[in-house]
Amino acid sequence: MPSLLFSTPHLAWLMISPTHYVRLSAVLFAIGLMGLMTRRNVLMILLCIEVMFNAANLAFVAYARAWGNLDGHVVVFFIITVAAAEVTVGLAIAILLARQLKTLNADEVRLLKW
């Protein structure tokens, strides 16, 4: 797998650089995204979003490391804040859905249709 994905020179994969972290974050992000696209349960969708948030965080921190400043960390701080807010509201909506529509299935929730 790695040799297919990564074209660094031989043995370079043992020298861990921020690039590795960034690539890892890409993979994690894609996994979260696939989950987001395929899952039907609203809670699962929210969980997948969390995965994607964290993947992004990883990339930020890796780049902060690479460029030697702390701005990336601060951004992660903000992302975590946003994620917390998002989860709070998202879960509240999920509860509301379960209570009013008796379902958490995203396919059945079509209030935005037309």
Partner 1 sequence: MTEAVFFYTFSGLAILAALSVAWNRRPIYSVLSLLVFMFCLAALFIMLGAYFVAALQVLLYAGAVLVLFLFVIMLLNLEPEALARMRLFTLRGVGTAAASLLLAALVAILRRPGPAPITPATTIGSVESIGQLLFTTYLIPFELTSFLILAAIIGAVTLARQKSHD
Partner 2 sequence: MVTAWLILFAPLAAAIAILLVAIHRPRLASTLAIAGLGTSFAATVWWFLQALHQPMLLPSETSVNWISLPNLTIPFGILLDQLSLLMALVVTGVGSAIFIYSTGYMAGDAAYSRFFGVLSLFAFSMLTIVLSTNWIELFMGWELVGFCSYLLIGHWYAKPSAADAGKKAFMVNRVADFGFLLGILALWAASGATPAERTFHFHTLQLRLPLLAHAGTIAAGTLPVIGVLIFCGPMGKSAQFPLHVWLPDAMEGPTPVSALIHAATMVAAGVYLLCRAFWLFEGVPQVLTLIAWVGGLTAFLSAGLALVENDLKRILAYSTLSQLGYMVMALGLGGRVAGMYHLTTHAFFKALLFLAAGSVIHGTHEQDIHKLGGLWRSMRWTSLLFLIGALALAGFPGLSGFFSKEEILVLAHEHSAPLYWIGTLTAGLTAFYIGRAWCVAFLGHPHADSHSGHGAAHESPPVMLIPLALLALLSLSAGYVGIPRFLGEHAEEFHWGVAIISLIVVGLGLGLAWLIYYRRAISAQQLAHALALPHTLLQHRYYIDDAYTWYVETIQQRLIAGLCAWIERALIIGLFVNGIAWLTQTAGRVLRRLQTGVVQTYALVFLLGILALLSRVFAW
Distance CA 43, CA 20 (A): 31
18 close to 8: Cβ distance less than 8 angstroms: no
Binding of partner 1 by 47 (CB under 8 A):
yes
The nearer residue to partner 2, 79 or 106, going by C-beta atoms, is 106
From partner 2, partner 1, none, which one binds at residue 12 (CB under 5 to 8 Å depending on kind)?
Answer: none
User: What binding mask, one character per residue, do residues 57-96 give for partner 1 by CB under 8 A, x or -?
Assistant: xx--xx-xxxxxxxx-xx-xxx-xxxxxxxxxx-xxxxxx
Binding of partner 2 by 37 (CB under 8 A):
yes
Output the DSSP codes for 72-113. Answer: HHHHHHHHHHHHHHHHHHHHHHHHHHHHHTS--BTTT--TT-
Chain residues in the site for partner 2 (CB under 8 A):
33, 36-37, 45, 106-107, 109-114
